[in-house]
């Protein structure tokens, strides 16, 4: 009996994916989560998940952090990205950082079902229009992704707030911890990323972002 886990913050799309899976595998176990923390908890409690269907953007997981963190911590769990983003560069980078497949949310249910069949058989899968242009990511980017993946979810949140220009006191209030705790997180972030100040840390985070500010405004 297969066990699928759907990690997506949109309840309607979680329901749609559950319907696709249930119609194809009536006996399957299907669990769900809507943010990165709950997804990581689910993976920790059950390492025998046959396929994780992961949205790139949900609370606690912007851009590639969720994917690279999960691949680093749970290398034995197959991950397929399910995303509304259809840029070739996103498909290339998701696959380059360890996704077994990439399912766009615009696909019909039959195509999604066929994709899941292929992934369970151990094959990689992306929509046909992306296959000819798939390109590997650079060694440099993989090394940077490993550094980002080494951050704890809380450290990643702090880094994201640094990117927004928040002060330590503001971050501490938002996260419900002391300013001293935030300073300790920032020290750890600098050490893990190999940087010495906030600006350099934010530059490293931006380098792993899936798209530029201009592309973000269009999406």
List the CATH number of the domain containing 176.
Answer: 1.10.10.10
Domain count, the chain: 2
Residue indicated by tokens 């769990």: 77
Residue indicated by tokens 């296959």: 131
| pLDDT value for 92 | 94
> Which of 131, 164, 179 delimits the end of a domain?
131
| pLDDT value for 209 | 76
Averaged over 192-219, what is the pLDDT?
74
Asked if 64 contacts 208 with a C-beta cutoff of 8 angstroms, the reply is: yes
Q: Is residue 44 part of a domain?
A: yes
Both 27 and 106 in one domain: the answer is yes
Give residue-wise pLDDT tens across range 9-47.
999 999 999 999 999 999 999 999 999 999 999 999 987
Give the CATH number of the domain where residue 25 resides: 3.40.50.2300
Residue partners of 175: CB distance under 8 A and separation at least 6: 154, 157, 158, 182
| pLDDT value for 216 | 38
Q: Is residue 83 part of a domain?
A: yes
Burial of 49 (0-12, 13-18, 19+ CB in 10 A): buried
Q: Is residue 145 part of a domain?
A: no
Both 30 and 72 in one domain: the answer is yes
Is a pLDDT exceeding 60 seen at residue 212?
A: no
Distance CA 130, CA 11 (A): 27
| pLDDT value for 215 | 39
Q: Is residue 106 part of a domain?
A: yes
Is a pLDDT exceeding 60 seen at residue 5?
A: yes
Give residue-wise pLDDT tens across range 135-194.
999 999 999 999 999 999 999 999 999 999 999 999 999 999 999 999 999 999 999 999
Please report how the helices 65-73 and 36-45 are oriented relative to each other, as an axis angle in degrees rounded to 10: 20
Give residue-wise pLDDT tens across range 38-70.
999 999 998 789 999 999 889 988 778 999 999
Averaged over 80-86, what is the pLDDT?
93
Among 64-78, 130-144, 198-212, the range scoring the smallest mean pLDDT is 198-212
């Amino acid at each position: 009996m297969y066990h699928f886990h759907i990690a997506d913050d949109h309840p309607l799309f979680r329901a749609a994916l559950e319907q696709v899976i249930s119609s194809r595998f009536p006996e399957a176990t299907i669990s769900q989560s809507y943010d990165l923390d709950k997804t990581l908890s689910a993976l920790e409690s059950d390492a025998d998940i046959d396929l994780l269907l992961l949205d790139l953007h949900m609370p606690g997981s912007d851009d590639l952090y969720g994917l690279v963190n999960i691949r680093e911590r749970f290398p034995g769990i197959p991950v397929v990205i399910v995303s509304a983003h259809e840029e070739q560069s996103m498909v290339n980078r998701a696959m380059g950082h360890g996704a077994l497949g990439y399912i766009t949310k615009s696909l019909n249910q039959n195509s999604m079902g066929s994709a899941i069949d292929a992934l369970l058989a151990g094959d990689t899968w992306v929509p046909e229009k992306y296959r000819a242009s798939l390109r590997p990511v650079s060694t440099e980017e993989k090394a940077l992704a490993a550094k980002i993946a080494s951050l704890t979810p809380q450290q990643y949140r702090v880094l994201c707030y640094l990117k927004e220009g928040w002060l330590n006191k503001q971050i501490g209030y938002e996260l419900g911890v002391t300013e001293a705790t935030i300073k300790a997180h920032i020290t750890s972030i600098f050490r893990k990323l190999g940087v010495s100040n906030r600006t350099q840390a934010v530059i490293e985070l931006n380098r792993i972002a899936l798209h530029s500010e201009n592309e973000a405004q269009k999406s």
